[in-house]
């Protein structure tokens, strides 16, 4: 089968590899769709810890073709929660499973979904309707991560929510904040993404920190940073009102630092939270995708083959792109 493999930092290739054989407790999935995440590009550049030689892809779904003794019937569509925590370490026993010291992340620590087939832990597969658009299953993982961040932010009806970043996470956060009853502003430099954000629920949009401050001089009750760049993480607290909250969902490269002013955060009592992956949120995300309470079709910018995946990960996304989806089975 074909698979897109991170050979080493800076070297990603689509290569021919054997079809995996499911081990104990695993199922074999024919991958239908896998999203290219910013984290995949961090992995390629060595900015996020990973295991060299693995097949990338942690946002994927597909059809079970070998259910083994899992109880999941062959032919069932599933979405794949990529994080397998141990359940025994101190963090797991405290309920902080996303901080598990022994977490095995599919597509990072073990072979993932940028392949025609993937062997996957059955207990981390969530069943989807076979009537669901195959491409939509690839959005369950990013939605699950966004849900965790919005849970931390705890939007109250009527609050002002400023979402920074017009990528997948930002546009999902806009929809979740709207559902919670917030008044939403989307901050992104892209005019096209501003338009999309308003179509998905944003009440207002801005292109810069200055514009956002002019619209809401007193600041937002909640600022959700989804861009994952130093500039936006640094100015996010400045756009929160006194007594406000900031949730950082964007992923910066390992080792990156940003300037903050502790006195300002203290004097205005700004709460800052950092949100990591998807503890107990994947099934909720799958249900929201299933019942279409979250719109994901507008977020699909393009579909590509496995032959194109390596180049797409190794290069910056084209202007205006929200999400590229790898469709392995489109290969001849």
Nearest to 280 by CA among 119, 135, 100, 81: 81
∠ CA 161-165-171, nearest 5°, is 70
Residue of 4, 42, 79, 232 with catalytic role: 42
Backbone angles phi, psi at 66, to 5 degrees: -145, 105
Rounded Cα gap, residues 44 and 322, in angstroms: 19
CA atoms 72, 74, 77, 80: torsion sign:
positive
Catalytic residue, chosen from 4, 14, 39, 106, is 39
Q: Which residues contact 22 (CB under 8 A, 6 or more apart)?
A: 28, 66, 68, 119
Q: Clarify whether 42 is annotated catalytic.
A: yes
Phi-psi category of residue 7: left, alpha or beta, with phi > 0 → left and psi -120 to 50 → alpha: alpha
What is the CB-side half-sphere exposure of residue 259 using CA atoms within 13 A?
2
For residues 29-58, b (16+ Cβ closer than 10 Å) or e, as one string? bbbbbbbbbbbbbbbbeebbebeeebbbbb
H or E element, residue 170: helix 168-179
Residue among 314, 319, 303 at smallest CA distance from 188:
319
Q: Are 258 and 232 in contact (CB under 8 A)?
A: no
- Enumerate the active-site residues: 39, 42
């Amino acid at each position: 089968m074909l698979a897109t493999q991170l050979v080493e930092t800076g070297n990603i290739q689509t290569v021919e590899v054997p079809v995996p054989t499911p081990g104990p407790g695993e199922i074999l999935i024919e991958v239908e769709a896998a999203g290219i995440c910013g984290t995949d590009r961090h992995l390629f550049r060595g900015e996020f810890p990973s295991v060299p030689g693995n097949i990338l892809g942690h946002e994927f779904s597909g059809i079970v073709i070998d259910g083994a003794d899992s109880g999941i019937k062959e032919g069932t569509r599933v979405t794949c929660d990529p994080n397998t925590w141990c359940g025994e370490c101190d963090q797991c026993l405290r309920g902080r499973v996303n901080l598990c010291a022994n977490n095995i992340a599919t597509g990072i620590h073990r072979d993932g979904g940028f392949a025609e087939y993937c062997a996957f832990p059955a207990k981390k597969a969530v069943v989807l309707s076979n009537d669901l658009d195959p491409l939509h299953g690839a959005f369950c993982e990013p939605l699950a991560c966004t849900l965790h961040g919005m849970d931390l932010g705890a939007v109250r009806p009527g609050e002002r929510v400023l979402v920074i970043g017009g990528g997948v996470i930002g546009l999902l956060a806009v929809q979740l904040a709207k559902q919670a009853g917030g008044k939403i502003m989307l901050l992104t430099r892209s005019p096209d993404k501003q338009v999309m954000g308003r179509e998905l629920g944003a009440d207002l949009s801005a292109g810069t920190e200055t514009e956002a401050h002019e619209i809401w001089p007193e600041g937002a009750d909640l600022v959700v940073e989804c861009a994952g760049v130093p500039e936006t993480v640094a100015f996010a607290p400045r756009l929160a009102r006194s007594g406000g909250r900031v949730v950082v969902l964007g992923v910066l490269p390992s080792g990156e630092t940003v300037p903050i002013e502790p006195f300002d955060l203290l004097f205005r009592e700004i709460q800052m939270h950092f949100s990591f992956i998807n503890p107990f949120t994947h099934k909720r995300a799958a249900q929201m995708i299933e019942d279409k309470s979250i719109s994901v079709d507008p977020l699909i910018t393009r579909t590509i083959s496995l032959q194109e995946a390596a180049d797409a990960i190794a290069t910056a996304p084209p202007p205006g792109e929200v999400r590229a989806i790898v469709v392995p089975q489109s290969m001849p």
